[in-house]
Each structure stands twice: as C-alpha cells, then as structure tokens.
Chain A
Amino acid sequence: MYPADLKYTKEHEWIKMEGDRGRVGITHHAQHALGDVVFVELPKVGRRLKQMETFGAVESVKAVSDLYCPASGEVVEANTTLEGKPELVNKDCYGAGWMIVVKVADPKELNTLMDAKAYEAYLAAEGGH
C-alpha cells in the first residue's frame, strides 16, 4: 500500500523523483480517509512553491483537505485529467491519480521526508492503518 520508491509527508502526500522532477500525489491512507473524491483543486503551471506550502485542495462530499508540496520548486505539470475524473485519486492514487510535477529546487529537502517504512510506523502511531 506504500511503495518503497516514494517519500512521504506527515500530511499524507507522496513524492516520486523522476530525474530532477518530483511527481506528487496523496497516499492510500489519505484517499481512504477522505472517501469518494469529488474535486481536486490544482495550481497553475509555473507557480513556485516552498516545501510544505499548500498547493491546492482535495474534496470529498463532506470534507476538504489542503494539499502540501513535499519539496520546494516550480510546478511544471498539473494533472488536468482530474478535473473531469477526480475518482482517479481513489482508484489509482500512486498512478493516474497523481496531482502535480515539480522541478525540485533542492533535492536535499527530501531527506526530511519519511520513507515507506517510517510512514507506516507514523500511521500506526497515529492510529491509522
């Protein structure tokens, strides 16, 4: 449920490095806790984000969660498919349900994030699963 090649935040986002770019989405735990996702608000391409700055929001019928960017950098892609198909976040949160790609400014920042094992321990401590 938590792929080993990803890094995780305490706010339940993941980032996957692809060269100097990082693809970002929310974790299985996050999509499950939200329930059916009905809307994803994403930033415009070109926006510069600091690490853990909010870049958008994800909504279910009765809840809304801010999205936090795991690493500083410029948004180079946003997954516009989610506008019409927000359910992809539930169906395939590490694949087609990705949200943005950032050009990571400082790869060292990723060291502050959790790996899969640490994230799972974090969830267990939080009472999640």
Chain B
Amino acid sequence: MSGQTVGTRGLVFNEPLIFEQGSPGRVGYSLPASDVPEKKAERLIPKKLLRDDIPGFPEVSEVDVVRHFTRMSQWNYGIDLGFYPLGSCTMKYNPRLNEDMARLPGFARAHPYQPEAVSQGALQLLWELEQYLAEICGMDRVSLQPSAGAHGELTGIMLIRAYHTSKGNPRKKILIPDSAHGTNPASSAVCGYQVIPVKSGSRGVVEPQAVAEVMDDEVAGIMLTNPNTLGIFEDHIVEIAKIVHGKGGQVYCDGANLNAFVGIARPGDMGIDVIQLNVHKTFSTPHGGGGPGAGPVAMKRHLAPFSPVPTVEKKGNQFALNYGLPKSIGKVRSFYGSFGVLLRAYTYIRTLGPTGLRRAAEVAVINANYILTQLKGAYHLPYDRYCKHECVFDDALQIPDNVKTLDIAKRLMDYGFHPPTIYFPLIVHGALMIEPTETESKETLDQFIAAMQAIAKEAKENGDLVRNAPHNPRVSRMDETRAARQPNLRWKPKPSGS
C-alpha cells in the first residue's frame, strides 16, 4: 500500500429521485389473492372519510427499487468501507452476527403484547442484559427502555427530578460543564431545569472548586461526561460527587464515552447515581445513517422506585413484566424499548465476555494515544496529555496558511477516510476530535496518520488543493446557506403546462 492512498475513484451512477421514475401501473409488490368477499371500501367506511389516491406516490418495479437504493448506497461512506474516526460517536465495527440474530423469527416476528408465557426467551434476554449492564456500570438497576442516548439522558434527569420531588422539592438547576454534548443542556431544559454552566479548568477537566462555587440546595444535580469530550478522564470525579451529594444533589454521568473504561473502572464506584449507555457506541450496534440506537439508563438503588415501567423481573424460572411501581416516572416510549437493538448489544457482550470487553477498552485507548503522539507536531494539541479513547487537535498550526479545520476534514475524504468530528467540543476553537476505536489495526492507523501528515504539508505548500477539497466524492461542497435560506424539504411535481 505504500505510496498509495486508500481513496480513489470508482464507477458511481447518477440516480434521480424515485418520484421522477416509473410509469403508471408499474408494480413492485405481490399480494395474495383475496380470499374474503371483495366489498367496496365505501360500503364499510363512509365515503367522506376515504381518499381517492395518494398523489405523487411512486409506481415502480422491484428491479427499479433495488437499483435505486444500491446506486444511492454507493454514495455513502460506512465503517464497512474504511476508517471512520468520528470523535464521540464510537464508530466501531458492527458485527454481522448481531444482525442475523436480530432477524431470527422468534425475535423479529414476536409481538410485544403476546402473552408472557410465550415470550420467555425475549424476557430472559432483557433480564440478563440488565444484569450485565448493571455489573458493567456498578449500578443496581437498569431501565432498558430509552430509545437513544439523549432519550436516556432525558429519562435520567426525569429520575432525578422525581427523586427530589418525592423529597418535597424538585429543585431548579442542573450544573453542566462547558465541554458537554448539546443534548445535556437540552435534556435538562425539557425537564424544566435551568442550566448552570461550569467552566473546565486549564487541565481540561472540571475542578472541584468550580463545582463547589455554584452548588447549592436548589441544584438538582450535575451532568458530567466521563471521560469528557476532550477524551480526558475527570479525575476529580469522586470529590465532585461528594460536593454534590453534600448539598443533596445527584450525579448524572453522560455515558456516551463509557467504552473508554469498561472492565477497568465502574461509574457506580465513583459516586455516580445514574448514567445512560449508548449501545450504538459502546456495544457495537450499527448507527444505520443516524439510528436506531438504544440508551439504557443504569441507576443506584435509591432511584429505582422511579424507574420507567415496565421492568423485567425473574420469579423462580419465569420472567415477567412488572408495571407495579407506584412512584414510577411513567413510560418514556411505547412497549419495552428498542428490543432488536438491545438484542444486538446482548450478542456483542456474550461474544466478548469480561476479558474481551476489557481488552476492547484498552486497545481503544492505545489506538487513540498512538494517533495523539504520532500527529503531535503536525497538528496543535490544545491539551497536551495522554487521552482515553479519543484525542482532540485543532487547526492553530494551519490557520496562518489560511487552512481551516473544515478544509482538513474535507481533504481527508480524498484520501479515503471519513473526517473526524469537527468544531466540537466548543471549548476548543477549530477542534478535530479523533476516535479510532479498538476495531482498527495499526496499519489502518498508520495510513490515516500518513494522510493527516500529508494534508498538513499540503496546507503549507498547496493550500487551494485543501481549501477546494473534496475532489474525489461524487459531489463537492454543498451550498448549505441556500438550503437554509430557501428550505426545500420535499419533492413536488413540476407544474404542468410550462
């Protein structure tokens, strides 16, 4: 591979919108012949409640559909194609076994309301997964219901609110460090809390003093991401938890980055009361272009009475749904959570076991530090210390040549890599947030490092090449201003007769 970049051009196809294809009467489906009397719809439902047809709906054949989506898929980048170092998003390999297991008819074709007696396999799986996640987090109970990370955060804040309300005062404020994901303040606001920002210290972590200064008995709790979004472990966590607990507050951990220390340490042992897990990050379930995820919430015993219903309980050898939690916050979604996603996480945990899970965390951290040390010098490192699962650089060394983080990101595409997360965390100006994960080999990392170094060189010698990137993808940079000024959010038929 030496001397060659991974990315190159291939034959890709143009493919219009489905609405611009097909012809009247063309079909892509086959239905069984009707075996009941073919009554007219208007004999069963009043005509005024019926529609004529669905204007604009496609009429295409099965072949048209297959080609349509296969061609479109070729315009996408995925982990299956290459390295996807998107910081904070944990783009690790998505095992195919998990997909197969989710499609077993006993899971995929099971109805959530079918009797418990004939749902024992599904309930057992949920119960066991809860035990595993509780052990991994050092927590007492886990609600598997939330649909994604932010949904888990919301559920966690609701638990905190319900806990305080049961003590007579829901309290008014939540403390959130300035390095937090945007979902933290947004989830707090949905629960009616005022957000009090806490500044990170010069070492890139939250200092206990900064928490003590704003902590009072109107603060419901603190939301900390650990390791934080700089990829740095919040090493004062125990002391911070003491300060918050001292004033009756609760400690929420955004578990988006739990993959950095699974099997090495546990949030529950650090004074954390509640944490959400992003199974589409730590536990390898596919992102699918932006979901589905699942965001189980692990909690200490004192929060368990407020858990969403139902929980899954084991009685003897039988598993049952329990709706009998009088203090429950209620339900946060229909049924019992994203079962199919949870099943994939279960499969992953059973594949790795305790040794494999710990090794995944260790190798993820080695991989991140390898990139950190190899790119230091070519790129500016705002917090120069070892990291956990991700490292954050910025564009300070490239700005004098008028090359920005965005340009570097776009140029990486030409080399065959997905760009890192850019311009986040907000406390680093022009951030490049790189998370390699444990599923990448040293050779892949070396190729990426070589590409990043080449781009740093190009920035100095041939800035336009970088500023006009990407050159290889099917389309170049998009006019996002136009998209926002004149929103075009759906296809419409062209006016006829013009």
Contacts and interface: CB of A to CB of B under 8 A. Distances in A.
Contacts, number: 15
Interface in B368-421: none
A61 interface: yes
A7 B437 CA distance: 53
B373 to A, nearest CB: 31
Interface in A42-87: 59-62, 86-87
Nearest to A36: B481
A39 interface: yes
Question: Among A36, A39, A87, which residue has the most Cβ atoms of chain B within 10 A?
Answer: A36
Interface in B466-498: 480-481, 483-485
Contacts of B481: 36, 38, 60-61
Contacts of A36: 481
Contacts of B484: 38-39, 59, 61
Contacts of A60: 481
A86 B482 CA distance: 11
Nearest to A59: B484
Nearest to A61: B480
Contacts of A59: 484
A62 B485 CA distance: 13
A36 B484 CA distance: 10
Contacts of B483: 61
Interface in B411-456: 423
Interface string A10-49: 0000000000000000000000000010110000000000
B93 to A, nearest CB: 30
Contacts of B480: 61
A76 to B, nearest CB: 27
Contacts of A87: 485
A34 to B, nearest CB: 11
A79 B412 CA distance: 43
A47 B96 CA distance: 59
A53 to B, nearest CB: 18
A60 B483 CA distance: 11
A38 B485 CA distance: 5
B94 to A, nearest CB: 29
A38 B481 CA distance: 6
B269 to A, nearest CB: 39
Contacts of A62: 423
Interface in A80-111: 86-87
A86 B480 CA distance: 14
A59 B485 CA distance: 10
Nearest to B484: A38
A79 B80 CA distance: 51
B85 to A, nearest CB: 21
A38 B487 CA distance: 10
Nearest to A86: B485
Contacts of A61: 480-481, 483-484
A80 to B, nearest CB: 16
A32 to B, nearest CB: 15
Question: Among B423, B480, B485, which residue has the most Cβ atoms of chain A within 10 A?
Answer: B485
A87 B486 CA distance: 12
Contacts of B423: 62
Nearest to B485: A38
Question: Among A38, A39, A59, A60, which residue has the most Cβ atoms of chain B within 10 A?
Answer: A38
A59 B481 CA distance: 11
A38 B480 CA distance: 10
B327 to A, nearest CB: 38
Contacts of A86: 485
A59 B480 CA distance: 13
A12 to B, nearest CB: 18
A36 B423 CA distance: 18
A59 B423 CA distance: 17
A99 to B, nearest CB: 17
Given A36-B481, A62-B423, A86-B485, 12 more contacts: A38-B481, A38-B484, A38-B485, A39-B484, A39-B485, A59-B484, A60-B481, A61-B480, A61-B481, A61-B483, A61-B484, A87-B485
Interface of A: 36, 38-39, 59-62, 86-87
10 contacts: A36-B481, A38-B481, A38-B485, A39-B485, A59-B484, A60-B481, A61-B480, A62-B423, A86-B485, A87-B485
- Lowest 5 A-B CB distances belong to which pairs? A38-B484, A36-B481, A61-B480, A38-B485, A61-B484
